[in-house]
Amino acid sequence: MPELPEVEIMTRNVRQWSAGRRLLRGEVVDAALKVDLSALQGAVFGSAHRRGKYLCLPVAASMLVVHFRMTGKAILESTAARPHTRLRLHLDDGTVIAIVDTRRLGRVWMVPSQELSSFFASLPLGPEPWPQPRDGGWWRSQLAGLRGPIKNALMRQDRVAGLGNIAASEICFRARLNPHTPVPKLDASDWDAVATAVPAFVDHVLSVESGPEIAYVNEQRTAPNPFAVYARQGQPCPRCAHGMVTRTVQAGRASFFCAQCQPPR
DNA sequence: AGGACTGTTCCGCG
DNA sequence: GCGCGGAACAGTCC
C-alpha cells in the first residue's frame, strides 16, 4: 500500500486532474465499497489534500475520503479500462479518475461536511511528520512512553500519521539506527537523526516516484527499486558497501537494515 | 503448495 | 497502558 509519500503524489495528481472540474457521474464498480455517489452528480471538486495515508477530495459540500490500504492507487483511466478498477469518477472534461485496488482492501467514505470533524476525530491519527519541520525533541515526545523497537514505533499511526513499513526501515537506515533498538535507548542525537531522516526520505520518494501512476516494488515495473535497503536483502549496503542488507521480521512485518551501519544496541 | 505482501482492526495473552 | 502474535479482510505472484 501507498504510504505518506505515495499518497502525497496521488493527492497532487488527483488535485490537478479534478480541481474546479465537475463530476458527471460517480461509478461504484465494486459494490462492496458500500458508498453512494449519486447525490454528487454535477457537483464541483474542491482541492484535494492528504491526511496521514488518507486522500481527501472535497466534492460540493461533502468529502470523498479514500484509504488505499495495501494495493490501491488513484490513476487516470481515460483511454482503456483497467483490471481491478473499484470506482470511477467521470469528469466533465472527458477524463476518468479511477481507484484500482487488486486486493480490494481499500476503503472509500462519502462524508457530509457537518460530519467531517467527527469522522477524522474517530480515526487514530497523530500529527503529520511532514512537510512542517519537526525536530528531535518533537519526535521524542511523540513516541514517549513506547518501550518497543523504534521501527515499530515509527509505524504507530496514532503517534505520528503516515509512515508505513517501508518508511520505517528506510528512516532507521538513514538515521543509522538498528530497527530493533528499544525506543527508551534513543538519545538526543538519535532523535535528531530521526528528525533529519524523515523529510529526507519523503522528499527522496517524491522526487523519484512522482508521476501519473505510482508503482509498487513487487509489481512489474521499469523503474528500479527506489529504496536504499527495503527489499534489498543480500545486497551490499549502499552506504558503507561492507555490510550486507539483512532482512528480519518485527511484529509480523519485514524489516531491512545494514548489519554494519546499524549495529544492535 | 506455501508464503509473502508499502495496512488496519480486532482479539487474547502477559 | 504497552507489546506481541495471530486472525481477518482479499487477490496475485512467485
Distance CA A135, CA A23 (A): 42
Closest CA to A117 of A105, A125, A106: A125
The residues, any chain, with a CB within 8 Å of residue A123's CB and separated by 6 or more, are A52, A54
CA of A71 to C1' of C11 (A): 10
Is residue A3 among the annotated active site residues?
yes
Residue A244, Cα to own-chain centre: how many angstroms?
27
CB-strand contact A146/C, under 7 Å: yes
Residue of A5, A8, A50, A53 marked catalytic: A53
The yes-or-no answer on residue A53 being catalytic is yes
Residue of A138, A144, A236, A154 lying closest to A184 (CA atoms): A144
Residues A88-126: tens digit of each pLDDT: 999 999 999 999 999 999 999 999 989 999 999 999 999
With bands split at pLDDT 50, 70 and 90, how would you rate the model's confidence at A79?
confident
Look up the protein residue whose alpha carbon has the minimum distance to the C1' of C3. Answer: A148
Q: Is the CB of A105 under 7 A from strand C?
A: yes
DSSP states of A63-77: EEEEE-TTTEEEEE-
Taking only the tens place, the pLDDT of each residue in A116-175 is 999 999 999 999 999 999 999 999 999 999 999 999 999 999 999 999 999 999 999 999
pTM over 0.75: yes
